[in-house]
Structure 1
């Protein structure tokens, strides 16, 4: 659950995510999992599963969200950035809580249906 005062998607459920800092996407995932939730993930346990290409509104800068699956990790999720995250939870993919970030829901739906790519907001 995103913290209510965070800049993005306050009071909304979202999977672990972050922004790259001059690093590969997998290195970013490993760093963010450790920083945000205290999880240790090895690069060889990560696989790409989906991309969501988002245009929020005409004229805005599009975003590309890359989604990875960790086949294994160590640690139990903990809230380590309470200014950004209020809680962690687990749900079946077909029973996500409300509200869930739209691109999170779209990515999980795409993964469940065997698609690697979803476009949102494009005409």
Structure 2
């Protein structure tokens, strides 16, 4: 799940996006920041910061509410992620598995 904040803090954005995109209800106290990735997609693009949160609990079953943006909701084994995963998300998941809180992708060497 991903989204852009709309005059709201990052956790409020996560809670709203989870409801809008997947029909899930998450409480603020059940959210923890697990990774930050500073990335650019291509040289010359504007840099972006991706915040990755873990929800320790939620209510509801994931439902596909934006089929034009997402084909399905599924829980994946981190060792068997789908091929078409967004590259910086793949990096973040690897780093989270290693307990690393920060990464950078797309920057020229």
2:22 equivalent in structure 1: 37
Q: Verify: 1:59 aligned to 2:44, yes or no.
A: yes
Give 2:58's match in structure 1, choosing from 73, 95, 104. 73
1:91 equivalent in structure 2: 76
CA displacement at 1:79 relative to structure 2: 0.4
1:118 equivalent in structure 2: 103
Q: Secondary structure at the match of 1:23?
A: coil
CA displacement at 1:58 relative to structure 2: 2.6
Matches of 1:117 and 1:99, distance apart in 2: 23
Q: Deviations over 1:87-110 (max 9, x none)?
A: 111111111121211011111001
Aligned length: 108
Q: Verify: 1:101 aligned to 2:53, yes or no.
A: no
Structure 2, unpaired ranges of 5+: none
Structure 1, unpaired ranges of 5+: 1-15
Matches of 1:18 and 1:56, distance apart in 2: 16
Consecutive aligned runs of 4 or more in structure 1 exceeding 3 Å deviation: none
